[in-house]
Amino acid sequence: MSEIPADVSALADLRVQAKANKDFALADQLRDQLLDLGWQIKDIPGSYELTPRSAYQIWKAFTEVPEVKINTPYLAIIKVDGWLADIQESTNALLTFSPSIEVVLIDVSGDAEVGVGVHELAKSPRVHEIHLGSDPGWGLVMRTAAEKFVAEFVVLMDPSTLLTSDPIPQLESAFADSTVVSAGWRGALVNTEDAWRSVDDKGSGEVDVLLGYFMAIRRESLLATDAPHPKAIFYRNADLELSLLLREQGGRLIALDLPLEQRRHRGYHDSDPAIRERESKKNYNRILTKFRGRSEILSPRR
């Protein structure tokens, strides 16, 4: 391994202290400085590892990424926070079962091993890679990726989701109805009797909200919604807000029984519980502030 310069080690030590102080903005700035100096940092229990920056490009911000025209009707967007084995399994299932889908992996992990793994997957002509030096959050990653990668439909997808067959025929059937703007796996109805404080799972059919495990959206409809809140950094409930924004436009959302299965949902189960609950609550409070009581945007109750 290359000898680590003293100034690089000093920055890495400062980043450890910043994370210990829960100053995550400073920790991200220090990670960017390390990248500028040609080093990637990987957190390990009680310490860190530094490795020379890889050959793939790491963008400081999504605004720097050029637009890409996709050659298939569908683009699956997967945010990569870590857990490389899950990313590999989920991506390979997409490539195996659905020839009408290309994939873009948005790597925000800051982990050299994960970055290399994503780079290897991107050797497939149907896989694109974006490596970011910081994590702008689920909403902005998904929305900006849809802006930069031009396809008729975008699929917001969690790496815990694994295809077992091709879902495209069912999606195509749903989207044959021009009033349907989004279709996906697992949906729910807002519980109005609970003053919008919860949602109830629903089977196939029209729903108020779709969950972000596998959520296909007409790109033009997605880009017509309001931009995600800049402080919405966690995925949980952000998919509900996006769903209601789509319904606010008058579009219909359809839940389908798609050929998918879900493995361990690490974005929830393996995230910091305090951060998970705090940010999920913030996301849901924004939903209540914007939408509570607006029954006219909900799906018909039968």
pLDDT tens digits for range 251-291 = 999 999 999 999 999 988 998 999 999 999 999 999 999 99
Task: Give a yes or no: residue 196 inside a domain.
Answer: yes
The count of other CB atoms within 10 Å of the CB of residue 265 is: 15
292 and 154 fall within a common domain? yes
Task: Give a yes or no: residue 302 inside a domain.
Answer: no
Half-sphere exposure of 56 (CA within 13 A, CB side): 25
132 and 175 fall within a common domain? yes
118 and 174 fall within a common domain? yes
CATH number at residue 180: 3.90.550.10
Distance, in Å, from the CA atom of 45 to the CA atom of 187, rounded to the nearest integer, reads 37
Region 8-27: mean pLDDT is 92
Total number of domains constituting the chain = 2
- What is the pTM (predicted TM-score) of this model? 0.83
What percentage of the chain exceeds 90 in pLDDT? 76
Task: Give a yes or no: residue 38 inside a domain.
Answer: yes
| Residue 124 predicted with pLDDT over 90 | yes
140 and 277 fall within a common domain? yes
* Closest alpha carbon to 295 in 184, 222, 195, 181: 195
94 and 222 fall within a common domain? yes
Distance, in Å, from the CA atom of 299 to the CA atom of 252, rounded to the nearest integer, reads 8
Q: How far is CA 272 from CA 28, 76, 133, 168, 277, in A?
A: 17, 26, 21, 35, 9
**Predicted pLDDT at 61:** 87
| Residue 1 predicted with pLDDT over 60 | no
**Predicted pLDDT at 164:** 98
Task: Give a yes or no: residue 1 inside a domain.
Answer: no
116 and 246 fall within a common domain? yes
Region 122-150: mean pLDDT is 94
**Maximum average pLDDT range among 131-145, 177-191, 224-238:** 177-191
143 and 20 fall within a common domain? no
Task: Give a yes or no: residue 287 inside a domain.
Answer: yes
Q: In this predicted model, what pLDDT tens digit does every residue of 37-89 receive, in sequence order?
A: 888 888 888 888 898 877 788 888 888 999 999 999 999 999 999 999 999 99
Task: Give a yes or no: residue 22 inside a domain.
Answer: yes
Average per-residue pLDDT for the chain:
93
| Residue 233 predicted with pLDDT over 70 | yes
Region 93-97: mean pLDDT is 97
| Residue 297 predicted with pLDDT over 70 | yes
Task: Give a yes or no: residue 94 inside a domain.
Answer: yes
Q: Which amino acid is at 224?
A: A
234 and 285 fall within a common domain? yes
Last residue of a domain, one of 15, 30, 53: 53
45 and 101 fall within a common domain? no
33 and 166 fall within a common domain? no
Q: In this predicted model, what pLDDT tens digit does every residue of 75-91 receive, in sequence order?
A: 999 999 999 999 999 99
| Residue 30: domain span | 6-53
End-to-end CA distance of the chain: 65
122 and 179 fall within a common domain? yes
Region 159-174: mean pLDDT is 97
**Predicted pLDDT at 2:** 62
23 and 141 fall within a common domain? no
